[in-house]
Amino acid sequence: MATVPSVSYSITVRLEVPAGGKAVSQLTHAVESAGGVVTALDVTNAGHEKLRIDVTCAARDTDHAQAIVDQLEAVEGVVIHKVSDRTFLMHLGGKIEMKSKVPLRNRDELSMAYTPGVARVSMAIARNKEDARRLTIKRNTVAVVTDGSAVLGLGNIGPEAALPVMEGKAALFKRFAGIDAWPICLDTQDVDEIVRAVQLIAPGFGGINLEDIGAPRCFEVERRLRELLDIPVFHDDQHGTAICVLAALTNALRVVDKRIEDVRITMAGAGAAGNAVLRLLLASGARNVIVCDYLGAVHQGRDDLDDSLRWIADHTNAEGYSGDLRGAVKGADVFVGVSAPGILTGDDIATMAPGAVVFALANPEPEVSPDDAREHAAVVATGRSDYPNQINNVLAFPGVFRGLLDAQATEVTSEMLLAAAGALAAVVTPEELGPNYIIPSVFHPDVASAVAAAVRESAGGRARGFTEA
């Protein structure tokens, strides 16, 4: 539940009021008295006796939206006609479409775009498959693939319910990088079937973006696809998050005048995102990291370690700390949370080292209240849009894929991810850098182009695979 009104729970109430009464002036007061925020008030029809008005307002959740409607209806003379949820209206019929890039106005154009002319193009590609990148949509198309098993913070809700999220992802690809992306929602959570399905559709795409596939299954899916395919495979929940965290941490450490090689980092979360963030932090020079999951610190003495946790134990926590998260946070310079809401308090943050950096990225409810964390930490970031320093994957994946596609890359490497993080951090100028501005807005005009250029340049040289980091 949102703690403050949000446009994601925005409603438009169509109502009628007497033209000459006090009701119009009371509408805004009614919404505000219910705790909502009026964002628009439009008269859609005016008469001598009645006015039809659309009142648009933001609420905290669906129950709060209904409370606002009830408050409006209680105003004397108001008649409610219709209540529309603006988020659902945006999704009616889907959010993306396919349209032709070439005109089809006459027989000549049809014969070139389709049969018989298209046969010549098909035969050229049959002789040289690489021409598909030049002569088809492959050069600018990404498949956004999910099995619906780990969608946002909603859990295993299935492929149909995942489709609106994947549509949104495709819309972001287009908006921020000009890439044509398409949702591929698979009705299976079997690793072999997922891998085979993606392998079979890969010829039509220039890259694969894995999305919202639960751990540890996602690790094997990504690994096997990278071995099988000659196009880049990028798991945004892992590597998009890692890029954004490293970029933000780079700038946060500049604010507090510390070096990544010297700081002690405590992480909460050892799943897909946590694993990738850890690997990229280590690749960037971090030396002292403790990772905690719901059982406490990951260390070599635990007897429940799978392959992923074993790797973490082998590369972190050199002193073998075996306590809980609260103990691991004490004295740490940096906390990075990619886990669960409300697992720390402001008092826990107070035990961190002076000049502490806190990234509480669980969404929508962070690991610790941002307001409480800001009482004690020098820099605080979240995944939310209603606080400064929002760490949002849309800062990374459009530019990363733009660079990969432009370079006609066949893989994603650790050097590319490090380059992307460095470029994203550099978008924030020294003059702009401060505790409340360590990461640029997703709408900053230079973000996607800067990240794309860095990835494109990195893809031009030899680079080791990310799994070797």
The question of whether 114 is a catalytic residue gets the answer yes
Assigned token pair, 99: 């349209």
> Burial code of 317-337, b = ≥16 C-beta within 10 A, e = fewer?
beeebeeebbbbbeebbbbbb
Which residue, chain included where needed, has tokens 């105003």?
Answer: 75
The question of whether 169 is a catalytic residue gets the answer yes
Return d(Cα 202, Cα 56) in angstroms, integer.
44
Return d(Cα 13, Cα 72) in angstroms, integer.
9
Return d(Cα 369, Cα 382) in angstroms, integer.
10
For 230, phi then psi, to 5°, come to -105, 25
Residue among 22, 95, 114, 129 flagged as catalytic: 114
Return d(Cα 220, Cα 398) in angstroms, integer.
24
Residue among 99, 101, 129, 169 flagged as catalytic: 169
For residue 286, how many other CB atoms are within 10 A of its CB? 21
Note the helical H segments in 294-413.
307-315, 325-329, 346-350, 370-374, 397-406
DSSP labels, 9-43: EEEEEEEEEETTSSHHHHHHHHHHHTT-EEEEEEE
Return d(Cα 404, Cα 397) in angstroms, integer.
10
Return d(Cα 223, Cα 462) in angstroms, integer.
20
Return the active site residues. Answer: 114, 169
